[in-house]
Amino acid sequence: MDRMGFFTDTSVCIGCKACEVACKEWNEVPSHGLNLLGMSFDNTGALTANSWRHVAFVEQPRPAPDFLGMPGSHPPGQNGSADGRSDFRWLMMSDVCKHCTHAACLDVCPTGALFRTEFETVVVQEDICNGCGNCIPACPYGVIDKRENDGRAWKCTLCYDRIGAGMTPACAQACPTESIQYGRLDELRERAERRVERLHADGVPEARLYGHDPGDGVGGDGAFFLLLDEPEVYGLPPDPVVTTRDLPRMWRQAGLAALTMAAAVAAAFIWRSPS
């Protein structure tokens, strides 16, 4: 079966949060994020057990590109200077679980609560999760979180129940600008590359893809992004690496050390002098 995923084009995100609302409604995610954080219009702050989609608002106090229909820039004569430039721009991004190709959370789960579906997405089975929390530090993106007064781990399932029935995930279905796009991962990657080329041709050289490269530290993401600045600006790690990549080597070294110690103890008993 084809691998399915998300392509999030932040250049057309308007920060409406329809994705957050749709995710909560469909998945019955508890209410969260109604506090004023002092971070522009961001009232959720980060991905949590109760926020499976998080719309980030980044205000940059620097000139925006000429009007291209992008958030934060203006056509001539509209809230900007005479040449259509503004003294700041908003970078908006709807963040989500990346559904990594090499998912460390799968490696460390002792109960099998985390599993990879037939669509190559990563899902937590809440009825099997024992709340050990091993998956939380294992995630290189800091996505997985425990729910207060529950103790179990929760995150985006890429609407496993919906896509299994041939439907679009709730967040992508609700997005009014098609910033969140769902489909076959190989097709999404081709579409994203064409979009970057178009933006470069239109005078947006900073446009770049994040998480689409199968050769990166997690083998590529099932949910990747088009960004208009460095990943760190959006709170994303610049070079994510699967945190369990060194486990096989560590276990081999530990095993060798244990065998060496056992051999030394045995030799001490065999060759000790009679009392």
Residue 23 marked in a binding site: yes
Residue 139 marked in a binding site: yes
Distance CA 126, CA 45 (A): 24
Residue 129 marked in a binding site: yes
Tokens of 74: 């203006």
Residue-range domain boundaries for the chain = 4-243
Alpha-carbon torsion, ordered 47, 50, 54, 56, to 10 deg:
-80
User: Beta strands 4-9 and 89-95: pairing type?
Assistant: unpaired
Residue 133 marked in a binding site: no
Show the DSSP H helices in 67-182 as ranges.
104-108, 135-138, 160-164, 170-174
Residue 256 marked in a binding site: no
Residue 156 marked in a binding site: yes
- pTM of structure: 0.80
Residue 261: what pLDDT?
A: 75
| Sequence-ordered list of residues with C-beta below 8 angstroms from that of 82, at least 6 positions apart, any chain | 76
pLDDT tens digit at each of 275 positions of the chain: 899 999 999 999 999 999 999 999 999 999 876 677 776 788 888 999 999 999 999 988 865 555 555 555 555 444 444 444 557 788 999 999 999 999 999 999 999 999 999 999 999 999 999 999 999 999 999 999 999 889 999 999 999 999 999 999 999 999 999 999 999 999 999 999 999 999 999 999 999 999 999 999 999 999 999 999 999 999 999 999 998 865 555 445 545 556 667 666 776 777 765 55
Distance CA 246, CA 154 (A): 26
Residue 45: what pLDDT?
A: 86
Residue 151 marked in a binding site: no
Residue 214 marked in a binding site: no
How many residues are there in the chain? Answer: 275
Half-sphere exposure of 158 toward its Cβ, with a 13 Å CA cutoff?
Answer: 30
Fold of 4-243: Alpha-Beta Plaits (3.30.70)
Show the DSSP H helices in the chain as ranges.
18-27, 104-108, 135-138, 160-164, 170-174, 185-201, 247-271
Residue 19 marked in a binding site: yes
Residue 69 marked in a binding site: no
Residue 224 marked in a binding site: no
Per the CB < 8 A criterion, the answer to whether 72 and 89 are in contact is: yes
Residue 159 marked in a binding site: yes
Which of 15, 228, 14, 188 has the alpha carbon at shortest distance from 99? 188
